[in-house]
Amino acid sequence: MSGFARTVVRNSAAGFIAQFAMRVLSFAFNVLVIRQLGAEAFGQYMAIGAFGELFLFVADLGLAPYAVREYARYRDSEDGPERARRLFGNLLWLRIVLALVAGASTVVAGVVTQRPLEVIVALTVNALFLWVYGIQGASEVTLSGFERIDLAAGAKVLNQLIFVLAGGAALYLNGGYFGLIAANLLGGIAMAVVCWRGVSRLGVRPAPPEFAEWPKLLRAALPFGLVTFALGLSYRFDTVLLNIWQGDVVTGHYRAAYNLIFSLVMFSNVINTALYPTLTRQAARHPERLAEVTSRILRYLLTAALPLAVGGFLLAGPLVDALYNAQEYADSIRALQILIWVLPFMYASEFLGYVILITNREQFVARAVIVSTALNVAFNLLLVPQFGLLAASAMTVLTEIVLVGQHVWNLRPLSGQIDWGRALLRPLAASAVMGAALIMAGAWVPWWASIIVGVLVYAGAGFLLGAFGPADLAFFMRSRAAPAEA
């Protein structure tokens, strides 16, 4: 397992550094945007993004995860270079066409739901430039398939840096969210250029499009596309519904809390992105090791997520007040106290979904996501018009719980080999000890100092309870020293 661990650590390290840099920039800039725009304008800006992301699945239709898996499987074969060239060419042109269709669909949705004229204009501007993301998406997928996530990560950092700098200038010049949209487009163009050059460095040149192959590609990617569609609907439908029924202010309060949650998903995204192509090859060569790897990675993910959930619940008030101003964003506190509990389930569901995908059972992932999303949509339609952001927050957590339950069931008997006591119960117990320490510390020290207390208490409790220990440190040291697997 040394080569596997080495590859994952390399990609995770590059990804973590890039993601950390991006998240720090994004988090700080997001706070600035929320403060500068105010709840109403921020809610409108988030609604524009939600409408776009709701149709984002059309721009991909599952081609990205399918292509990553295919690249990883045959890239070392004798005809691998030619197959990669053909796949890249078809993927490139097909993604460009689908991106334009997605943009048009977004504008139509805005018109049908009678959004304000300025929102329709913003959606149209986004639609006109979506072809850039078609190029970027095809290139990034190819880099991921060749396990050069470090190159893609650098492009994302550049994108975020340009967005922050150009967006900050737009806010300073009172450009509003149209200035932010322009800044986002500039960052996207830069990211596309860097990803394209990264693929060129790998020696992969796109072959001419083979239109007869497109239906085959779309059919093969369909299960992945259903997952993408369902996830997009699950994560953005509540925002769209809130905006339609409750207005821009409530949408702004909800998304202020929601964005904090997604800033905390960084660790999970980095690990799972690094794992997917490498674990695909590892499972093909050594399937007997899959249960061991699954158990270990799941334990690490939950060890990170559970204390974040407990700490976020207890410190939601001072966090929102320090970041956004609790007087204007009071409802964001209640939303955050509910939403924060989705973290452990999101960490687990993303990883377990990838484990199912690499075993060629993507139809199980599609079915699980569709069931969870159907539940999300139905209850949001029923409850959001009356209960607003509290219902949306609760449905987000419930959706992820149902999804994790289905993944665990679909992975049996592998899930039966997981040491749930160590993977779940011990980190949960350490988090409970940390929570008690935070409550006691809150009466004596400022809220920011209680975070330091919480980290120290959790580290000590986790070690004493056996959630982590010297063996885990030795594992990471071996991973760093191990030679990369050919």
pLDDT per residue as tens digits for the range 6-28 = 555 555 555 556 666 666 777 78
- Concatenating the DSSP letter of every residue in 261-274 gives HHHTTHHHHHHHHH
Residue 486 is assigned to a structural domain of this protein: no
Nearest to 374 by CA among 237, 193, 273: 237
Instruction: Return d(Cα 308, Cα 327) in angstroms, integer.
Output: 24
What is the predicted pLDDT for the residue at 44? 85
Please report, rounded to a whole number, the percentage of residues in the chain having pLDDT higher than 90.
Answer: 31
How confident is residue 225, by pLDDT bands cut at 50, 70 and 90? confident
Domain that holds residue 145: 2-481
Q: Does residue 158 lie within any of the structural domains? A: yes
| pLDDT score of 451 | 92
For the segment 370-404, what is each residue's pLDDT rounded down to a tens digit?
Answer: 899 899 999 999 999 999 999 999 999 999 999 99
Report long-range pairs for 171-177 (Cβ below 8 Å, ≥24 apart).
171/32, 171/33, 171/36, 176/37, 176/41, 177/37, 177/41, 177/44, 177/45, 177/48, 177/122
Alpha carbon 399 to its chain's center: 16
Confidence of residue 59 (pLDDT cuts 50, 70, 90): confident
Confidence (pLDDT) at 278? 67
Higher pLDDT, 181 or 77: 181
pLDDT at res. 481: 46
Calculate the alpha carbon distances from 23 to 17, 52, 297, 439, 455 in Å. Answer: 10, 21, 22, 28, 20
Mean pLDDT in the chain? 84
pLDDT value of residue 194? 92
Separation between Cα atoms, residue 296 and residue 302, nearest integer Å: 10
**Across 212-223, average pLDDT:** 87
Whose CA is closest to 71, among 146, 158, 161? 146
- Coil, strand, or helix at residue 34? helix
**Mean pLDDT along residues 242-249:** 87
Strand (E) or helix (H) holding 99: helix 80-112
Q: Which of 101-105, 185-189, 274-278 has the lowest mean pLDDT?
A: 274-278
- Residue 209 is classified by DSSP as P
Cβ-proximal residues to 396 (8 Å cutoff; 6+ apart), any chain: 238, 258, 338, 339, 342, 376
C-alpha to C-alpha distance for 273 and 254, rounded to whole angstroms = 27
CA distance 436 to 440: 6
- Is residue 88 a part of any domain in this protein? yes
pTM: 0.75
Lowest-confidence range among 141-150, 312-321, 333-342? Answer: 141-150
**Which two three-digit tokens encode residue 1?**
């397992």
Q: Please calculate the CA angle 318-319-324 and round it to the nearest 5 degrees.
A: 105
**pLDDT on residue 19:** 62
In a domain, 155, yes or no: yes
> Tokens 């249960």 identify what position?
291
- The four Cα atoms 67, 72, 75, 79 give a dihedral, to 10 degrees, of -60
Query: Is a pLDDT exceeding 70 seen at residue 142?
Result: yes
CB atoms within 10 A of CB 347: 29
CA distance 366 to 364: 5
Rounded to 5 degrees, φ, ψ at 433 are: -60, -45
**413: preceding bond cis by omega (within 30 degrees):** yes
Higher per-residue pLDDT: 266 or 115: 115
**Residue 110 pLDDT grade (very low, low, confident, very high; cuts 50, 70, 90):** confident
Read off the pLDDT band of 114 (50, 70, 90). confident
Q: Is the pLDDT of residue 297 over 80?
A: yes
pLDDT, residue 51, reads 82
Highest mean pLDDT among 214-223, 383-392, 417-426: 383-392
Q: Domain tally for the chain?
A: 1
CA dihedral over 96, 98, 101, 105, signed as positive or negative: negative
Tokens 């950092």 sit at which residue? 157
Instruction: Yes or no: say if 198 and 340 are a contact pair by the CB < 8 Å rule.
Output: no
The span from the CA of 226 to the CA of 366, in Å, is 6
Residue identified by tokens 């590859």 is 7
pLDDT at 231: 74
3 pLDDT above the threshold of 90: no
Mean pLDDT of all residues in 328-346:
93
Task: Name the pLDDT band for 190 (thresholds 50, 70, 90).
Answer: very high
Residue 280 belongs to some domain of the structure = yes
Give the residue-averaged pLDDT of 318-346: 90
> In angstroms, what CA-CA distances link 82 with 79, 170, 237, 328?
6, 45, 41, 58
pLDDT category at 285 given cuts 50, 70, 90 is confident
Whole-Å CA distances, 299 to 417, 419, 480: 13, 9, 20
